[in-house]
Structure 1
Amino acid sequence: MSEENKSYQEIWLKDPRDSNYPAAMDYLDLLFSGEKPKKIVQRLKKSETVLKKAKDILRASELPLLPPDNVHVKDNIEKVRAGTKLSPVLLVRSHRLIIADGYHRVCSIYYLSEDLDIPCRITHI
């Protein structure tokens, strides 16, 4: 089965890995001071998972699409092709969408098909 024909359940874990939250906290700590990163991550943990398209996440984040030969992008593409499930991405609504954790995963899925659904946890600042 091609990646374009896979459902999101075949590609993605139901919930983010526990390790994704500290990674998000590290990134958010670069953007915000004080207790704000911790509060954002607490809300992400409680958020419901929703589905969004790779192309829409990239457009809303205003981040460039990483090249397919980026080591992390390439690794994630290989994981999907091998049947290893990826962790949902963690997003924060601000003046632009912040990918707190999962930028490489979003880029990887875009290369497989920009229309594939990506499970996301989304909160606001």
Structure 2
Amino acid sequence: MKKNMLTRDKLWLKEPEDHDFPAAQDYLELLFEPDQAKKMVEKLKKATTITKKSKDILRASKLALLPETNIHVKENLKKVEKNKKLSPILLVRGQNELIIADGYHRLCCSYYLTEDLEVPCRLV
């Protein structure tokens, strides 16, 4: 898909996939007690999907942009080339930074496609 033909609706699913939530919980349990992580994921499940720019999510998370050569970023770029949509990103507000609970590789993929495109996400 050519970059100038990208739209949010062509690139992203409207809602997260079911398997995204257990992945988010696994990650959050590294940062929080399991009960707390579970509560965050329950909130993510109920949250409304909103949109934010990939460059802003990346800046707020304080994470480095993964290289295009990263295997998971490459897999997501190939998905987009095959017109398969990406799942929205799951985000949690941390003390001083944004936590990407699930979707870091999808976010980096999106950034390489166009850093200004709105990314669907759930934010709690």
TM-score, length basis structure 2 = 0.96
Matches within 5 A, 1:5-44: 5-44=5-44
The Cα shift of 1:107 comes to 0.3
Residue 48 of structure 1 aligns with which residue? 48
Q: Deviations over 1:82-101 (max 9, x none)?
A: 10001000000112000000
Question: How far apart, in 1, do the equivalents of 2:26 and 2:45 lie?
Answer: 15
Aligned length: 123
Q: Deviations over 1:23-76 (max 9, x none)?
A: 000000000014100000000001001111110010000000000000000110
Percent identical:
56
Q: CA, structure 1 residues 104+21, in 2 after alignment: closer, same or farther (shift >3 Å)?
A: same
> Contact 1:3–1:81 (CA<8 Å) still a contact in 2?
no
Matches within 5 A, 1:1-125: 2-94=2-94, 95-123=96-124
TM-score, length basis structure 1 = 0.95
Q: Which runs of 5+ in 2 are unaligned?
A: none
Aligned residue for 1:18, secondary structure, equals coil
- Two-structure CA RMSD over aligned residues (Å): 1.0
* One-letter identity of the residue aligned with 1:77: L
Question: How far apart, in 2, do the equivalents of 1:36 and 1:106 lie?
Answer: 25
Query: After TM superposition, where is structure 1 displaced by more than 6 Å over at least 4 residues in a row?
Result: none
Question: How far apart, in 2, do the equivalents of 1:75 and 1:3 lie?
Answer: 17
* One-letter identity of the residue aligned with 1:67: P
